[in-house]
Amino acid sequence: MTDQQEIIDQADRRSAHNYNPLPLVLERGEGIWVWDTDGNKYLDCLSAYSAVNQGHCHPKIIEAMVSQAKKITLTSRAFHNDRMGPFLEKLCQMANMDKALPMNTGAEAVETAIKAVRKWGYEIKGVEDNKAEIIVVRDNFHGRTIATVSMSSEPDYRKNFGPFTPGFKLIDYNDLSALEQAITPNTVALIMEPIQGEAGIIIPDDGFLSNAREIRKQNNVLFVLDEIQTGLGRTGKLFCFQHEENAAPDILIVGKALSGGVYPVSAILASDEIMDVFTPGIHGSTFGGNPLGAAIGLAALQVIEDEDLVERSQILGDYLMRKLELIQTNKIVDIRGRGLFIGIELDKSLGGARSYCEVLMGKGILCKETHDHVIRLAPPLVIENEHIDWLVDQIAKVLKD
């Protein structure tokens, strides 16, 4: 029995089986690379679901963490701290928003957005108490809490977790007609991802976001974008909605790469009018906006700017897409994506993408299947052309084998 197998067996024995990870044990990471406990080196093409856009253990982010950890890590929001203000100032400037409300995990940020749009609906729009409706789209992924699985159309996420939170109305993704028909006087918001990640890197038609925003404007409904996976450079823009003109949301949800994968940091951003529905005591988090997380978040944002990671994502993403499109095999149904957020959809007759991810692991590449038949490629934004060349060569060999 290997050391790795002992660790895997221990995890299986002591951990709830709510994940099905690839059979390896990682112990170290640097940039685009990770190493297992046997010293094997892998190119990380998942980036912790886009949390490590800046690369594993970025030295500037780690330095900020260590420095702050020696001073003070937690004050709670009962007191001010000297790190939260500068962090939120930077985040709001980059997102062109008035205010931010910091939380920890992405799911907490989505829950915060749900509370914000409902409270806005009652206090600003004038919706009757407990009648607010939120439109969401099929095949979405917004988290694993009861409210976020109540928004989901995925049976596996919902089975035996009911009763569910009411007030959500499902429509098809990328369907403007369905959106218009779903809106009622009680509708307070549309919440969606600008690209659906867990659904298989599904991209809406050009103009969909801006048209959805216009429909929102005509009906006094808030437009909310979950950019937890797609934001902060992943798609070749700082935020994915920037691929279209006039597609800016009323509420923007961010997380994951907001800390460079070093610590849980998330937030929602919005205008003064929307944020003013929050008053002292009605919503909060002991750790939200804590000085350690704020120092890490500020450093993570600074790295994105200083290293031109958004431009790198666009240029290298285009390069990766062109290389992938040269692969000659009838196993590929479609290749789609933006920036370094790409999905390779395989023919369903092949039995799923999991086995291909396992073979790629043996060749030193870590990726994960999504929506059963899609290989997701989302390496850290610090990847270089030479790494992409090697990556595509390995993928081509595996697909042709």
Catalytically active residues, by annotation: 141, 226, 256
Alpha-carbon dihedral 72, 75, 81, 82, rounded to 10 degrees:
10
Cross-strand pairs, 56: 31
- SS in 3 state form for the chain? CCHHHHHHHHHHHHCCCCCCCCCCCEEEEEECEEEECCCCEEEECCHHHHCCCCCECCHHHHHHHHHHHCCCCCCCCCCCCCCHHHHHHHHHHHHCCCEEEEECCHHHHHHHHHHHHHHHHHHHHCCCCCCCEEEEECCCCCCCCHHHHHCCCCHHHHCCCCCCCCCEEEECCCCHHHHHHHCCCCEEEEEECCCECCCCCECCCCCHHHHHHHHHHHHCCEEEEECCCCCCCCCCCCCHHHHCCCCCCCEEEECHHHHCCCCCCEEEEECHHHHCCCCCCCCCCCCCCCHHHHHHHHHHHHHHHHCCHHHHHHHHHHHHHHHHHCCCCCCEEEEEEECCEEEEEECHHHCCCHHHHHHHHHCCEECEEECCCEEEECCCCCCCHHHHHHHHHHHHHHHHC
Residues 238 and 13: their CA atoms lie apart, in Å, by 42
122 closest CA partner among 271, 11, 222, 230: 222
- In a 13 Å sphere around the CA of 39, the CA atoms on its Cβ side amount to 0
Provide the edge-to-edge strand list for the sheet that holds 133-137.
99-103, 266-270, 251-254, 222-226, 187-192, 133-137, 168-171
CB 253 within 8 A of CB 109: yes
